[in-house]
Every structure is written in structure tokens, then in C-alpha cells.
Amino acid sequence: MDEQPNHFDEMLSAPDNVREPYRAYKTWFSGQDPSRLKKKSKEAEAFFRRTGITFNVYGQEAAQERLIPFDLIPRIIANREWTKLSKGIEQRVRAINMFLHDIYHRQEILRAGIIPIELVANNSAFLPQMIGMTPPGNVYTHIVGTDIVRTGEDDFYVLEDNARTPSGVSYMLENRETMLQMFPELFSQNRVKPVSDYPKNLRRSLAACAPSKCGGRPTVAILTPGIHNSAYFEHSFLADQMGVELVEGHDLRVVDGHIAMRTTQGYKVIDVLYRRVDDDYLDPLNFKPESMLGVPGIMDVYRAGNITIANAPGTGIADDKAIYSYIPDIVQFYTGEKAILKNVDTFRCAEPDSLKYVLDNLAELVVKEVHGSGGYGMLVGPAASRQELSDFADKLKSNPSNYIAQPTLSLSTVPIFAKKGLAPRHVDLRPFVLVSPNGIEITPGGLTRVALQAGSLVVNSSQGGGTKDTWVLED
């Protein structure tokens, strides 16, 4: 296996010493014929292509639809490691929900001076339309994807909180299904916690958030922007797996103060709408009037308590990377506890001293847009050319409040199946969290994204990264 020093290797604690979670797997792998594994890798690619597991890349006419590369070496996490992670994620998600309720009601955290008022008041993700509005069950973030990186045996950091419309869960499910089909013997030899019940749990969790006026079994539907959206495969996949309708804005209308969807038997009332449409496009009467993706009047129905929108409008402010830098304070303020999971040190470029430091050290930092996602609009200083650094410095000077900067972390590596055998590559992890009045549920594992290029730290699929099956082992 190629050596990549100075990074925590999740499989090897030394060149010849396999870490406990990987021992059974490494024994199995060492007995495999490499030609069989290469054949299996091609089978997996064919399976993903047949299933249509693709994503769209915006702004690239020649390659608008791509297959996300799948690596057949699982990422393996011990149960004790997962226990610590899940406790930290649960604490964080609970605090974020409390924060969202507070900023749309009494704003105690602003009064206490913990967070600057302008960071909320001037934030485009803050929705005045949500002030005084309490979602059914007091749940704002029904589905959360928390991006986590590892730098050592017990060192985990949260990179960002995806509290708006986190994507990627379909890849987590299909990665596991593919591994089960290709290597059934591995799952009889290793006690791996299941993930296949996520769609059932998602439906149950959403149904538990139905409005109090809902009688009988709640009707759940998924609202998609349509086939041109980069995550359309996931929208249709989840609707199919959950056994619910996939709808677009033109399928919905207000009927007697409720949102109803068009069916062959007429219009049917929806109680819970899992929307994959951004706030700005959700309701042309309240937000962007030119939107063709949303439902005119849905916010009025929502305020009247006749529908649950998941995630709640206005949750995007919790995704803001400047707000992210205050999450340890947010956890402390609302729970009275120290944050279990650490944040990455963050420089808010809106602050003059921070901006000066960032500009002086740009070649050593990672700079991100506060509302950016998918790896777009970011600068990885150590990998940037002089010209890229210069151009980005100009962007920072012209609009500093749009950016935060962080040190380049020494991300952990896990092995991938390369042409010459196992080779280490950097990874992150996106566990998926369900929140309802009944509690917080975290699927064991999540989506591991892997940088397939040697030495690269960019794992996003839109930037050439791949995915892996993530195993959490039973004790």
C-alpha cells in the first residue's frame, strides 16, 4: 500500500499493523484474487449506470450528467467511535433547532451578545416571514447532514452543518445495496449495522411531524424542482423507497386552506411536504414572484398550521458558514454543555483583523463562500496557483463578508482500490439525522466521500470525488 505520511490512516496504525476495525476485512482482502476485485469494480459501475445513479454538473455543457465513482473498499468505523460521534451530532442538531426557534422568536442569543445582530439581520438566509412562526412539533430541521472529518484516533471535526436540504442519502443506500450484492460473504463475517431502513424511518419521522389538525395517517409527498435538478435521482429514489408521491409545483394547489396534489381521483390533501426546493422558489407570492417551482400561497397555508414543510423555511441560516463559527457558543448557550464535536478554527473575513490575516496567509488556508456548497466558489490555498491566489484576494477585498477561511486540516485517509492495489485517499463523512417530536435518530454510518486524486482534499462529487460504503461495526 502506498505510503502517505503525516495523515491519520484509518486502516493502518503502522505499515504492518492493521487497526482493529479493519482486521477482519484486511484478512479477507489479502485472500482475494485482484482480478476478481477488478471485475467486481466494473460490475459495480455497470450497476450504478443501469440504475441511473447520476448527478448533474451545472455549467458544463459537455458533461452535464455524470456517474459518481464508487470505490469498493468500505470505510470501517468501530462502534465506540460511532458512539462518540453520534452523541456529538445529536447535541449539535438539538442546539441548532433551539437556535432556529430562538432567532425567529425572542432572539435571546442576540440580546445576550453571543452572536452579532447584523450576522442574522443582514443574512439573506434569515426569513422575516418566519418570525413568530413555530413549525408543527417545534421541529425546524427534520433532516440534517453533518459533514465530519477526522484528523486522529479520537479527533473529529465538524466541517459544516447542512440544515437546509442535505443530499446524498440515496448514494449511502445504493452503496450498501451494491456491496451486499457483490460481497454477501463480507456481511456474514462482519457485524455491520444496517442502513436499509432509512426510507422507512424517514417516512415515519416526517409523519410524526404532521400538523396537529391532521386526522388519520398523514399524507407525505416530496416536492422536486424537476428532472434538471442535480439531485433529481435522489428525489425520485426516495419517493419510490418511501412509497410516497413525487410532485412538482404545478401538481399542487391551495384547496380549502390546504395544499393538495393532483391525482387521477382529483385533488388530495398533503399533510407533510418534504421539499427539495430552495426557500426563494417555494412560494412566488411570498418570495421570488417569477418562480415556477413552488406553490403560490403555500406559506399562508403553512402559517395557518395546515401543512408541515420539511425542512422549515428559514433553516438555511444554520448552514451559513459565519454562523457555523459560533456553533460551540450556540451549543453552550442552549444546552449548558460544552460541544462534544469540535469546530474547525474559522476566520470571519467580515472582521478587519481576520481579513488581514487571511490575505497575508492565503496560500495556507481554505476559503469558502458563507452560503457556498458543493465545493464551488472555494479556494484551497496550498493547491492554488499564484494567479488564482491573486484573483481570490481581489474577491476577498471587494466582498469580505461573503467569505470565511479555515486552516488546511490534515484529513484522515482510508484505502481505495487503485490499479496497483490499496492506496490511501482523503475522506469526509456525512451522517444523516432525522428529527421529530419523538426524538433524534442517526443512521449508523452515512455517506463517505473520497478524494480519488492522490493528495487531493476536495471530496465533492461535483469536483471529481467518489463515494464508499460506510460500515459501523457492532461490538
Q: Which residue stretches of 183-257 are H helix?
A: 184-189, 198-207, 232-242
Sheet order of strands, 365-369 included: 347-348, 403-407, 365-369, 379-380
- Residue 172 CA, chain-centre distance (Å), reads 11
407 Cβ partners below 8 Å, 6+ apart? 344, 345, 364, 365, 366
Hey, is 220 helix, strand or coil? strand
**Can you tell me the distance from the alpha carbon of 254 to that of 257, in angstroms, rounded to the nearest whole number?**
6
Residue 8 near residue 151, CB atoms below 8 Å = yes
- The H-or-E segment that residue 315 falls in is none
pTM score above 0.75 = yes
Q: What is the pLDDT of residue 442?
A: 97
CATH of domain 345-408: 3.30.1490.270
Q: What is the pLDDT of residue 62?
A: 43
Q: What is the pLDDT of residue 92?
A: 97
What residue spans define the domains of the chain? Answer: 212-306, 345-408
Residue 272 near residue 209, CB atoms below 8 Å = yes
Residue 149 near residue 411, CB atoms below 8 Å = yes
- In the chain (475 residues long), the average pLDDT of successive 10-residue segments reads 68 90 94 92 85 56 64 96 96 98 98 95 93 96 96 93 90 94 93 96 98 92 93 93 97 96 94 96 94 94 97 94 93 97 92 93 91 71 90 93 89 92 93 97 96 80 82 94
How far CA 411 is from CA of 75, 149, 158, 171, in Å, comes to 14, 6, 12, 22
CATH of domain 212-306: 3.40.50.11290
For 80-91, the three-class secondary structure string (H helix, E strand, C coil) is HHHHHHHHHHHH
Cell of 418: 487503485
